[in-house]
Amino acid sequence: MSGLRDLYQEVILDHNKRPRNFRVIEQASHRAEGFNPLCGDRVTVYLNIQDGVIQDLAFQGSGCAISTASASLMTDALKGKPIAEVEALFQDFHNVVTGNGDSPRGLGKLAVLAGVRDYPSRVKCATLAWHALRAALEQRTETVATE
């Protein structure tokens, strides 16, 4: 059962209990909704982008501990980052949670989600907010589903 302990690390439990940036940005320049039918997770991501930089980033929604913690960690990690860096970070993160990555170098706290690699069904929980974020950046308005 050490795997489960790896999955639900303290950082994840903390971000699930007290999600960071859990609010609506009324004047968001970008927003998108994501839905993970496998688990029932829903998340709406809000962004304010100015001069190619993520000035503000927040989310709302309801879902399992992994999806909430991942969204919370994502908002923490990406605030203040140039949108040009988002895609590379997403690829690194995706590689880590699917077990295709080498070292989570540069991922910072996002690396705590590496444990989901042993639970393929939870990968969609961990990546849901990221899929919504990418949809928002591409100005896609339909709800993105992980399936």
Which residues sit at the interface with Zn ion, rule CB under 5 A? Answer: 39, 41, 64, 67, 125
CB of 53 to Zn ion, least distance (A): 30
Which is closer to Zn ion, CB of 39 or CB of 137?
39
CB of 91 to Zn ion, least distance (A): 21
Which is closer to Zn ion, CB of 41 or CB of 56?
41
Which is closer to Zn ion, CB of 34 or CB of 104?
34
Contact at 8 Å (CB) between 127 and 36? no
Which is closer to Zn ion, CB of 37 or CB of 82?
37
CB of 16 to Zn ion, least distance (A): 11
Angle, alpha carbons 15-52-144 (nearest 5°) = 55
- What span, in angstroms and rounded, lies between the C-alpha atoms of 142 and 51? 25
Report which secondary-structure segment, H or E, holds 55. strand 53-62
Q: What's the number of CA atoms in the CB half-sphere (13 Å) around residue 103?
A: 3
CB of 85 to Zn ion, least distance (A): 26
Instruction: Using DSSP, state whether 123 is helix, strand or coil.
Output: helix
